[in-house]
């Protein structure tokens, strides 16, 4: 079962699971997901979609071997508009998904986030770092929801012996991202394709790293199939400033857009780069797709969504 399987990353996971011979049940309330992301699986007898909120009681007939918990708003636009729903899916939703995994004796994977590190004081971020999070700031609902989700996942692991996995996902991009979700990749690409000003917050000196979705999903699959229960960072350790990324988008789209600067939002992380030593050693995983290749796969999809040429 994949909760949030109609979302950006969840739907790419569903694709990979079906390709590798699994039967998949997707549970999604479509608050931020879309049936368009999974419509190509309609008619496949190995695929089933249930429209339901994971914070409600989850029941499935028959055996379940793996529960992949991806349900959650995951962009600033979403969790600023839906703070309570974000907290509920991280707490009640994770509790329900863990309960199903316990009942079915299934292995459980939590899709956590680099946001558990907050505005980090350690760089790059290792899994041992506890983070620098403002629990009452505008991003607190998402950060703390994921931190709680990690805590309850480990509690089920220790108290019930549940096989659990935790992936901390760093910035990921690719086709099926929502064009208006507020994250830097769709924002910059959308502005560039329309030849509108590209909005850079602050001086653009804050850093990010960008991992292509196919690389990330492969790492997540390897983590689930591993025997490791502690959190694992997955992301691309190649770091660049937001201003450098804006210029890369301009070059890739051949846009006439100019770059404009706006005040930095509260609690916006100044640095974000994963230490992937653990993933490299335990999963034999490193990103394979360069930013240039990834953008070449991503930008055409945004063109179809926007009607831009």
> Which DSSP string do the residues of 28-42 spell out, in sequence order?
E--SS--GGGTGGGT
Model confidence at 254: pLDDT above 90:
yes
Model confidence at 308: pLDDT above 70:
no
Is 65 within a domain?
yes
Is 202 within a domain?
no
Question: Of residues 142, 156, 173, 212, which has the active-site annotation?
Answer: 142
Model confidence at 309: pLDDT above 60:
no
Q: What angle do CA 45, 217, 178 make, to 5 degrees?
A: 85
Mark whether 142 is an active-site residue.
Answer: yes
CB-based contacts of 284, cutoff 8 Å, min separation 6: 222
The mean per-residue pLDDT over the stretch 257-278 comes to 86
The mean per-residue pLDDT over the stretch 37-59 comes to 96
Is 52 within a domain?
yes
Q: Is residue 265 very low, low, confident or very high in pLDDT (cuts 50, 70, 90)?
A: confident
Q: Is residue 247 very low, low, confident or very high in pLDDT (cuts 50, 70, 90)?
A: very high
List the CATH number of the domain containing 84.
Answer: 3.40.50.720
Is 250 within a domain?
no
Is 75 within a domain?
yes
- What are 71's two structure tokens? 């349900």
Question: Alpha-carbon distance 123 to 307, whole Å?
Answer: 40
Is 184 within a domain?
no
For residue 218, the model assigns a pLDDT of 98
Least confident of 46-55, 129-138, 180-189, 192-201: 180-189
Is 73 within a domain?
yes
The mean per-residue pLDDT over the stretch 127-154 comes to 95
CB-based contacts of 184, cutoff 8 Å, min separation 6: 171, 208, 242, 245
For residue 267, the model assigns a pLDDT of 62
Is 94 within a domain?
yes
Model confidence at 148: pLDDT above 80:
yes
Residue 188: C-alpha distances to residues 132, 219, 241, 270 (Å): 27, 26, 14, 18
Count of domains forming the chain? 1
For residue 259, the model assigns a pLDDT of 94
Spatial CA neighbour of 2 closest among 22, 28, 20, 33: 28
Q: Are strands 24-28 and 47-51 parallel, antiparallel or unpaired?
A: parallel
For residue 27, the model assigns a pLDDT of 98
| DSSP bridge pairs for 48 | 25
Model confidence at 178: pLDDT above 80:
yes
Between 66 and 76, name the one with better pLDDT: 66
Map residue 201 onto helix, strand or coil: strand
For residue 183, the model assigns a pLDDT of 86
Residue 284 near residue 219, CB atoms below 8 Å? no
Model confidence at 307: pLDDT above 70:
no
Range of the domain at 106: 2-174+210-237+273-288
């Amino acid at each position: 079962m994949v909760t949030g399987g109609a979302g950006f990353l969840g739907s790419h996971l569903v694709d990979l699971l079906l390709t590798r011979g699994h039967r998949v049940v997707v549970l999604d309330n479509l608050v931020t997901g879309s049936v368009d992301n999974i419509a190509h699986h309609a008619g496949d007898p190995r695929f089933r979609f249930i429209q339901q909120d994971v914070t409600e009681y989850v029941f499935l007939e028959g055996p379940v071997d793996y529960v992949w918990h991806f349900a959650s708003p995951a962009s600033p636009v979403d969790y600023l508009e839906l703070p309570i729903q974000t907290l509920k899916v991280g707490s009640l939703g994770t509790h329900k998904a863990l309960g199903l995994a316990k009942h079915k004796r299934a292995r459980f994977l939590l899709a956590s986030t680099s946001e558990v590190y907050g505005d980090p004081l350690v760089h790059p971020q290792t899994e041992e770092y506890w983070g620098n999070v403002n629990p009452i700031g505008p991003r607190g609902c998402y950060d703390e929801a994921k931190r709680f989700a990690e805590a309850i996942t480990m509690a089920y692991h220790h108290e019930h012996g549940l096989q659990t996995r935790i992936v901390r996902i760093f910035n990921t991009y690719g086709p099926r991202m929502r064009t208006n979700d507020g994250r830097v990749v769709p924002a910059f690409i959308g502005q560039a394709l329309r030849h509108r000003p590209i909005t850079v917050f602050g001086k653009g000196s804050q850093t990010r790293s960008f991992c292509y979705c196919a690389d990330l999903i492969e790492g997540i699959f390897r983590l689930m199939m591993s025997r490791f229960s502690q959190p694992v960072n997955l992301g691309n350790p190649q770091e660049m400033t937001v201003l450098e990324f804006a210029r890369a988008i301009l070059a890739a789209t051949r846009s006439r857009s100019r770059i404009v600067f706006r005040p930095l939002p509260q609690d916006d992380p100044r640095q974000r780069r994963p230490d992937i030593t653990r993933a490299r050693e335990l999963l034999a995983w490193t990103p394979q797709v360069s930013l240039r290749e990834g953008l070449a796969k991503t930008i055409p999809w945004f063109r179809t969504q926007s009607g831009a040429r």
